[in-house]
Structure 1
């Protein structure tokens, strides 16, 4: 049940092509430790400085699935918002994001299909050096009008 003062996100009739949201996050050690604990992921590239120093990355990187989580939570919170569901995603991970770096993401509605109750959202995410680290698209079903 929806909480009393909660509002659903935008319905298909309220969404227009070109709508955008820009989010900025920083992944800190506490976030990484929560992820590693929840998933039991022990990849040394994510947390071990000695190992990461021997790789082309030179220092630990943020797991791509954590970055994906930031993107998908923006869909749940903003475009289209609460009640939305991602049904398909195509993301390319072009470069690393390092611990404590800012993660800037721009989500933009690029298509609206009222007949199928879906929208296409483009994703472009950058690191602090303004290098593209993720690009792709999401197919999303907005919440239904109740």
Structure 2
């Protein structure tokens, strides 16, 4: 890793208020099973058809935290990208998202703060032209790497 250039996302001066980013995510078995296995979350709302058939949701739903992870992953991979950091988030899960459904995640920059190098992002996720998630996320844009110099190896 030493000496390898890391591709970073966009810095604060490369972004503008009103800028948007769209991404589609499909709820597949692989991702659901990985989430459930990693968290040991056996909530019957996520996996049991017999139970969910007796509830208002009618069939298994995708965990809210997994949906949140898809949104934050989109931020850290694409908008503003690698090196960015989620500082706070407020999300409302308006309607359930079911297994095998596709959602469209829309991110829009609401505010830029050049002093703190943060952006406030409006988040909307839709399925079938219906809002399923709404909220805001505060993001610190990527930190600028320091140049390698003679002091890099002083701890070795």
1:30 maps to what in 2?
30
Give 1:80-99 correspondences, 5 Å limit.
80-99=80-99
Q: Tell me: CA distance 1:123–1:3, structure 2 relative to 1, closer, same or farther (3 Å).
A: farther
**Separation in structure 2 between the aligned mates of residue 95 and residue 67 of structure 1, nearest angstrom:** 12
For this pair of structures, how many residues does the alignment match? 145
1:134 maps to what in 2?
133
Runs of 5+ in structure 2 lacking a partner?
146-156
TM-score (norm 1): 0.94
What displacement does 1:143 show? 0.6
Q: Tell me: CA distance 1:14–1:39, structure 2 relative to 1, closer, same or farther (3 Å).
A: same
Q: 4+ residue runs of structure 1 moved beyond 2 angstroms? A: 1-6
SS of alignment partner, residue 111 of structure 1: strand
Question: Is structure 2 residue 142 aligned with structure 1 residue 143?
Answer: yes
What displacement does 1:2 show? 7.8
SS of alignment partner, residue 38 of structure 1: helix
**Separation in structure 1 between the aligned mates of residue 62 and residue 133 of structure 2, nearest angstrom:** 13
Runs of 5+ in structure 1 lacking a partner?
none
CA-to-partner distance for each residue in 1:84-111, whole Å, 9 max, x for gaps?
0000001111010000000111001111
Q: Tell me: CA distance 1:45–1:2, structure 2 relative to 1, closer, same or farther (3 Å).
A: farther
CA-to-partner distance for each residue in 1:39-61, whole Å, 9 max, x for gaps?
01010010111111000011000
Instruction: Please give the root-mean-square deviation of Cα atoms over the aligned residues, in Å.
Output: 1.4
What displacement does 1:3 show? 7.7
2:104 maps to what in 1?
104
Greater Rg over alpha carbons, structure: 2
Question: Is structure 2 residue 20 aligned with structure 1 residue 20?
Answer: yes
